[in-house]
Structure 1
Amino acid sequence: MDLKHWLAHGIDEIGKWEAEYGGFAAHPALEVGDGEFGAAFGELLDRLRDNYPFAHPRYAGQMLKPPHPAAVAGQLAAMLINPNNHALDGGPATAAMEREVIARLAAMFGFGTHLGHLTTSGTIANLEALFVARELRPGTAIAYSADAHYTHARMAHLLGVPARPVATDAAGRMDLDALESLLRQENIGTVVLTAGTTGLGAIDPVHEALELRDRYGVRLHVDAAYGGFFTLIADDGPDGVTAAPYTAIAACDSVVVDPHKHGLQPYGCGAVLHADPSVGRFYRHDSPYTYFTSDELHLGEISLECSRAGAAAAALWLTMRLLPLTADGLGAVLRPGRRAALRWHELLTESGLLVPYQRPELDILGYLPRAERLSDVDRISAEVLEKGMSAEPGDSVFLATYGVSAEALAARGHPVRADRPGGRILRSVLMKPEHEQWSEWLCGRIGELVRDVR
């Protein structure tokens, strides 16, 4: 795909459409000369070099990668018009696209009837889910995994809802025995289950939590912001993921997913879905100057956010047209990263310098240098991180660290002497399909760095 060609084509076509309404002169206040713009733009490009190479497979640190070229083209084309998906008055075309992509996301999770929309982030999407939970179960608390995203504690505080963390097991999943004990003791209204924790990619046992939902009458919300799209390859296959938790999402009350992660979108694209459309009543409001051009439901009438970029819907719509939500469509983009994580895990088990923290469930891998003391694990991990990023480009590798406790290491069978309460290990996110061809080089390079800093 020649992105430069299609970007230029998009600019031309949008210009032709606008010309149908008659030409007009831009206001002099908006005019900027090429020389002035060139200087400012050159400075911008120079400043953008102060980034890490997110697009390159040697970047295996945080959950960062560039969007698909189709998403860039779709985003730019719509940005030239700049629609606002709050109301049909502001973005009729992109509002229709948003409804279409939301219907496809709902079908991916097995939701039939549903209510949902795009958001600017997974944080806002989870805020909306917890807002509905509060309205449905006033005066109750929410429970979430101790390894869940910090969003839930923050949003619960914002909403004035009591929040209760639940212990995890030795794989980083919510411990359902601990959850049941909490349900017996406290007035819990909603349980948040995570399909892909952002630290380790652990998947809470959603399918097993359904029984507790029936027994205690709690609602179930699934935070699938990171791991939601893996439902496309949840087939129990050698390069797929465990099916049961994903299949069970269809029986839950709400789910959140972030297309700006594995959905190949630019930042500013999350999504929230409710299984029961009647929860729209909690959003009900009116405005003296919007919602007049159509009797259809406006997206702003079912969201907490007001102005939202219609360009995000256009980018996702175009991407889904080319890479549909199927195992052979977007699923084929996810499998290489999954295979990379499994291969890297295999290499780590054979290494004399590194050892896997636990077996990966998605495409996130934790690992640590072999050392006798936790203080040495922490020191070596930090030095490897720094030396990998500061090396010459051809030798560089970009990782992340992950804080663990001595108890968590012991629970996973790591014979490390706990001379301190906790420390840092290494962590890699292999979310680019190109990582499959680089996993052996990455593992080998990190081994070299460990050997150098010991």
Structure 2
Amino acid sequence: MKQDQALQLFSEALPRLQQAFSHLPSSDPSAETASTDAMRAVLDELTERLADNYPYFHPLYAGQMLKPPHPIARAAYALAMWINPNNHALDGGRASSRLEVEAVREIAAMFGWTEHLGHLTSGGTFANLEALWVAGRLVPGKKIVASENAHYTHQRIGSVLGLAFENIAADTRGRMDLSSLETALQSGEVGTVVVTLGTTSAGAVDPLDKILDLRQRHRFRIHVDAAYGGYFKLVSDLGPDAARAYARIDEADSIVVDPHKHGLQPYGCGCILFNDPSVGRFYKHDSPYTYFTSNELHLGEISLECSRAGATATALWATQKLLPLTPDGEFAQGLSCGRMAALRVYNKIRQDKRFFPGPEPELDILVWAVKACTLEESSRLATAVFDLAAKQDLHLALAQVPVNFFGPETWPGAPADGRVTCLRSVLMKPEHLNWVDAIWEKLSHAVSKAIEPETL
């Protein structure tokens, strides 16, 4: 199993790392540490507590955006934690800081950038905060806009930073509506457009190519939130609309991607990239005690966060060394497997009279509703299916999505701005492709138990 691989790799590498410091005099602590038996007792209790989790690592977990780290990432992270470096400054993370620079450079190259400023963060939220903070400095007094299906934290970040924010309507596939965006742009008050490549609700891909064309007529910055979908830049079998969007991602002003989603990394590992390195001037500060051993740029000088685990960078570097970020390479093929799994489940749903299919998946996320005459009944049935599937160890997710995802004829008389609770699945593990039939069998059994004949 992958977990066994990680433990084996770690146990082989640790003695070699310890040997590198064997010339130092013994430094046994003067105070007596806790006994092995005491620590074992704590870990025994912890093991029982941790068992109260969903099996996020298993293909039958097909709910939220949870993907197990690669064994090399687990082993590298644990190895670095033996030293516990801090990538705020070279003083605290000399080797791991260089590994971060190299790993981030490879991510930037994936998007087609040779010149960039970037670093790792604790996750996509903080990475997006930095992107919008810089945008606010470059276009002060201007508004930030994002699709109504963009991540909710963009509006929250705008509030934190004191920046005006506006939601833009979405189309029936969950993507930013271009006519609504252009109406907002005509006011001249928009400074930054947040373009989402892979919404968290349904994996929708905003039409970046067309939004870039609008930038020719209206002056604004483009920030691409690709926290979820960024790595799909490496995949060649996307649909035509998504492919056109990804083909022009290099024209954005800033990009966020989360290696702890599709990048096979432990939490938390986000990444922020700017195409203009000169934005580093906004981070400038004085710290008379932190930077003194090197004249090189410290990562703390281009980051709003201070202490950051060097183990995060180490794990990412090791994973990318093993699985390079090459188009249609081994890593990219894993993404393609997840997308193929989502399309196969979608086609089964589309052909089943017990369901209303949502938009065709653009990445590896799909949403669907249980067939019923009213929104309320459909929502109730979705919750029932969710519970019944879990009893069979199939773990899905629930989501409230706009009714326009399903077409106006689905629930006649439903309010145009209404929402329905539906089922949602994130098939982001490569193994999901081989588990489609098992997933479908359990889902079909759950809906058969939940649904009443008269609702068909």
TM-score (norm 1): 0.95
Matches within 5 A, 1:410-449: 410-411=407-408, 414-415=410-411, 418=414, 421-449=418-446
- Is the contact between residue 354 and residue 370 of structure 1 (CA under 8 Å) also seen in structure 2? yes
Map of 1:273 onto structure 2: 273
Query: Does 2:325 align with 1:328?
Result: no
Matches within 5 A, 1:378-397: 378-389=379-390, 391=391, 395-397=392-394
State the AA in 2 paired with 1:254.
S
Query: Does 2:103 align with 1:106?
Result: no
Query: Does 2:285 align with 1:285?
Result: yes
Map of 2:311 onto structure 1: 311
**Shift of residue 402, structure 1, vs aligned partner:** 1.1
State the AA in 1 paired with 2:315.
A
- Superimposed CA distance per residue, residues 273-303 of structure 1 (whole angstroms, 9 cap, x where no aligned partner): 0000000000000101111111111000000
Q: 1:301 to 1:52 in 2, by over 3 A?
A: same
- Is the contact between residue 234 and residue 242 of structure 1 (CA under 8 Å) also seen in structure 2? no
- Is the contact between residue 237 and residue 336 of structure 2 (CA under 8 Å) also seen in structure 1? no
State the AA in 2 paired with 1:433.
P
- Superimposed CA distance per residue, residues 180-218 of structure 1 (whole angstroms, 9 cap, x where no aligned partner): 100112511000000000000000000111111121110
Query: Does 2:352 align with 1:355?
Result: no
d(CA) in 1 for partners of 2:439 and 2:242? Answer: 26
- Is the contact between residue 235 and residue 241 of structure 1 (CA under 8 Å) also seen in structure 2? no
Map of 2:235 onto structure 1: 233
Count of aligned residue pairs for this structure pair:
446
- The counterpart of 1:67, out of the listed 66, 69, 75, is 69
Map of 2:454 onto structure 1: none
State the AA in 2 paired with 1:365.
L
State the AA in 1 paired with 2:278.
S
Secondary structure of the residue that 1:19 maps to in structure 2?
A: coil
d(CA) in 1 for partners of 2:145 and 2:311? Answer: 35
Q: Give the 4+ runs in structure 1 shifted more than 2 A.
A: 1-4, 234-237, 404-411, 413-423
Query: Does 2:156 align with 1:154?
Result: yes
- Is the contact between residue 130 and residue 272 of structure 2 (CA under 8 Å) also seen in structure 1? yes
Query: Does 2:5 align with 1:8?
Result: no
d(CA) in 2 for partners of 1:234 and 1:298? Answer: 36
Matches within 5 A, 1:127-206: 127-206=129-208
Map of 1:376 onto structure 2: 377
Map of 1:248 onto structure 2: 248
Q: 1:417 to 1:369 in 2, by over 3 A?
A: farther
Structure 1 window deviating more from structure 2 (13-22 vs 190-199): it is 13-22
- Superimposed CA distance per residue, residues 350-388 of structure 1 (whole angstroms, 9 cap, x where no aligned partner): 112223211000000101112222111100001111222
**Shift of residue 219, structure 1, vs aligned partner:** 0.4
**Shift of residue 417, structure 1, vs aligned partner:** 5.6
Secondary structure of the residue that 1:404 maps to in structure 2?
A: strand
State the AA in 1 paired with 2:56.
F
d(CA) in 2 for partners of 1:374 and 1:85? Answer: 50
d(CA) in 2 for partners of 1:193 and 1:44? Answer: 42
d(CA) in 2 for partners of 1:27 and 1:64? Answer: 43
d(CA) in 1 for partners of 2:221 and 2:340? Answer: 34
State the AA in 2 paired with 1:153.
Q
Secondary structure of the residue that 1:28 maps to in structure 2?
A: coil
- Superimposed CA distance per residue, residues 313-359 of structure 1 (whole angstroms, 9 cap, x where no aligned partner): 00000000111101213101111101101111111111122232110
Map of 1:402 onto structure 2: 399
**Shift of residue 406, structure 1, vs aligned partner:** 3.6
d(CA) in 2 for partners of 1:165 and 1:68? Answer: 37
TM-score (norm 2): 0.95
d(CA) in 2 for partners of 1:424 and 1:64? Answer: 21
Secondary structure of the residue that 1:255 maps to in structure 2?
A: strand
d(CA) in 2 for partners of 1:241 and 1:291? Answer: 47
Any gaps of 5 or more consecutive residues in structure 2? 452-456
- Is the contact between residue 173 and residue 203 of structure 1 (CA under 8 Å) also seen in structure 2? yes
- The counterpart of 2:448, out of the listed 444, 447, 451, is 451
**Shift of residue 408, structure 1, vs aligned partner:** 4.3
Secondary structure of the residue that 1:156 maps to in structure 2?
A: helix
Any gaps of 5 or more consecutive residues in structure 1? none
- Is the contact between residue 113 and residue 250 of structure 2 (CA under 8 Å) also seen in structure 1? yes
Map of 1:301 onto structure 2: 301
- Is the contact between residue 67 and residue 262 of structure 2 (CA under 8 Å) also seen in structure 1? no
d(CA) in 2 for partners of 1:18 and 1:27? Answer: 20
State the AA in 1 paired with 2:389.
G
- Is the contact between residue 241 and residue 362 of structure 1 (CA under 8 Å) also seen in structure 2? no
**Shift of residue 248, structure 1, vs aligned partner:** 1.0
State the AA in 2 paired with 1:354.
F
**Shift of residue 176, structure 1, vs aligned partner:** 1.1
Map of 2:220 onto structure 1: 218
d(CA) in 1 for partners of 2:313 and 2:97? Answer: 8
Percent identical among aligned pairs is 48
Structure 1 window deviating more from structure 2 (115-124 vs 322-331): it is 322-331
- Is the contact between residue 117 and residue 273 of structure 2 (CA under 8 Å) also seen in structure 1? yes
